[in-house]
Structure 1
Amino acid sequence: MLYVKAPAKINLTLDVLYKRQDNFHEVEMIMTTVDLADRIGLEPRGDGLIKIISADRFVPDDERNFAYQAAQLLKDTYGIKEGVSIKIDKEIPIAAGLAGGSSDAAATLRGLNEMWNLNLSLDELAELGAKIGSDVSFCVYGGTALATGRGEKIQELPPPPTCWVVLAKPKIGVSTADVYGGLKLDGLEHPNTKQMVQAIENEDYELLCQSLGNVLESVTFKLHPEVVMIKEHMQRFGADAVLMSGSGPTVFGLVDTETRTTRIYNGLRGFCEEVYVVRLLGERNPLA
């Protein structure tokens, strides 16, 4: 069996510029990968079928699954007769704003590229990934990037300054479609994307902390007050900067010393089951 790592992402910035004619939103966001990952196991099948295997009952085992869609896309595009069993060991929370499903799809693309000897570049895999979902292209590359368009246009950035990340997800799922549907584009406070790029390029941790911003917070906070509570607690427990990732509900805090992560972790564990302490990865994925 071939194993591929599928890391989670967080949004350092997420801005929505306008609604496009195709009903997608034009976005501008800076994403980076963190050391919390699903593990994808790929095993060839002689019967031509795609099978999803997961111990997590919330992981769909049919064509709704992004990893399934990734395998089907490669089979259809390149006339692959062989089948594959895709084993998904979940570590990334589901419907959390951490691109777990997108990262599983990206890892499947990278792994099957090797297993089926397709010899596709990361750029080619990312182009295919865009057909599955907006975050898949970024997840093919991993690392740190500025994403524009509907999220599929990727411009590589250097790794951000190293720090610790505390992630906390309340016991709710959030519908990305509902959050974007509730977004009012008038009067939005837009994050300073250029300043965030500058902070990353100059390895300026303080400026990075000052530059965090996510326009979707305003919608998710109204729908789910418990997300606001987690953000406020994280700030009170001493994180250097706190932001919701994606459409939520996961909130992350940046911390520059490991000792302070313990206090924040313990404080959050009092009322939130899913809390993780991880590092920023920052580096791009290998091909597989």
Structure 2
Amino acid sequence: MEIMEKAPAKINLGLDIMGKRLDGYHELSMIMVSVDLNDYVILSELPDGRIEFESNSHRMPHNHKNDVYKAVRLVKERYGITAGVKIRLEKTIPICAGLGGGSSDAAATLRALNQLWDLRLSKEELIDLAFEIGSDVPYCLEGGCAWIGGKGEVVELLPTKLSSWVVLVKPKFGVSTRTIFKEIEPETISRVDIDGLKAAILADDYEGMLASMGNSLEDITIKKRPFIQKIKDKMLEAGADVALMTGSGPTVFALCPTEKRANRVMNSMKGFCQEVYKVRLLS
């Protein structure tokens, strides 16, 4: 039997760092939404216990350093699975881009393994597994539009009818999330009105959403990579309603109310950066 799961990218409509926890993690308050830029994870069982991994991306490590492999090994060890699995990862989402590609791939792998081995894991059990892999993986199990709190393990889905065209621009360089989080100073970091953003989304108030969006990590990442600010400025000049870095960067996204406007922003960026995508929100 072969199982295929779609793994959509995500963007952060809002990302706020509330402070440092006693356990060393940062207290997060974020609103994420999926977009229709997708990887695909294809799994089939092997009889001899091996984990066999292949991908169309030459940048993906074929061992425990990638989150798909981590997910398989974790499930095998936790539930005493003696069978092996062959994994094919079809990558479209850029790597080290702030788009949650690795987390979404891991979540898709957990969903696929639950089917492949008929584990019948509950939502809570999947979330526990997901958080052991990474803080964004619990959200990626369901995707859509959601508020995320705690260390990333608290996920509240937000029903909304908001829709928008999205232009994603990924510069040539990547950014290490771990490096950016090491430089957070909770007392001085920019804050984001996540409560206001959440209220606007639940009210399907597009203008209110735009007014409340923000990313506490922008100042840190842009200081290291000023080119990100140039991307933001150029997208706004081309007619974007808002331009914001997603996650720890470096990808910047623009929201546009119409496809015509999105095409204008996309065309203005194509000569500026090589990786430019026009997608839709999957709320």
TM-score range, shorter chain: over 0.9
| Contact map agreement 1:126 1:141 (CA 8 A) in 2 | no
The one-letter code sitting in structure 2 at the alignment partner of 1:274 is E
Q: Per-residue deviation at 1:125?
A: 1.0
**What CA distance in whole angstroms lies between the structure 2 residues aligned with 1:245 and 1:160?**
21
- Post-superposition CA distance 1:204-232 (Å, at most 9, x none): 11111111110100000000011111111
| Contact map agreement 1:122 1:141 (CA 8 A) in 2 | no
**What CA distance in whole angstroms lies between the structure 2 residues aligned with 1:160 and 1:209?**
15
Name the structure 1 match of 2:256.
255
Structure 2: give runs of 5+ residues left out of the alignment: none
- Post-superposition CA distance 1:167-194 (Å, at most 9, x none): 0000011011111112222233311111
The one-letter code sitting in structure 2 at the alignment partner of 1:19 is K
Name the structure 2 match of 1:144.
145
**What CA distance in whole angstroms lies between the structure 2 residues aligned with 1:122 and 1:258?**
36
| Contact map agreement 1:227 1:249 (CA 8 A) in 2 | yes
| Contact map agreement 1:94 1:100 (CA 8 A) in 2 | yes
- Counterpart secondary structure, 1:177: helix
Identical positions, percent: 48
- Counterpart secondary structure, 1:280: strand
**What CA distance in whole angstroms lies between the structure 2 residues aligned with 1:39 and 1:143?**
17
**What CA distance in whole angstroms lies between the structure 1 residues aligned with 2:280 and 2:124?**
26
Name the structure 2 match of 1:153.
154
- Counterpart secondary structure, 1:261: helix
The one-letter code sitting in structure 1 at the alignment partner of 2:186 is L
In structure 2, relative to structure 1, the CA distance for the partners of 1:13 and 1:160 (3 Å cut) is farther
**What CA distance in whole angstroms lies between the structure 1 residues aligned with 2:213 and 2:23?**
28
Name the structure 2 match of 1:285.
none
Name the structure 2 match of 1:14.
15
Answering whether residue 208 of structure 2 is matched by residue 207 of structure 1, we say: yes
**What CA distance in whole angstroms lies between the structure 1 residues aligned with 2:160 and 2:65?**
33
Alignment of 1:1-288 (within 5 A): 1-159=2-160, 161-282=162-283
**What CA distance in whole angstroms lies between the structure 2 residues aligned with 1:257 and 1:246?**
24
| Contact map agreement 1:239 1:264 (CA 8 A) in 2 | yes
**Structure 2 length normalisation: TM-score?**
0.97
Name the structure 2 match of 1:286.
none
Tell me how many residue pairs correspond in the alignment.
282
Structure 1: give runs of 5+ residues left out of the alignment: 283-288
| Contact map agreement 1:47 1:83 (CA 8 A) in 2 | yes
Q: Per-residue deviation at 1:122?
A: 2.8
- Post-superposition CA distance 1:215-274 (Å, at most 9, x none): 100000000011111111111111111110000000001111010111100100011011
- Counterpart secondary structure, 2:133: coil
| Contact map agreement 1:26 1:150 (CA 8 A) in 2 | yes
- Post-superposition CA distance 1:35-73 (Å, at most 9, x none): 011011101111111121012111111001101111111
Q: Per-residue deviation at 1:166?
A: 0.6
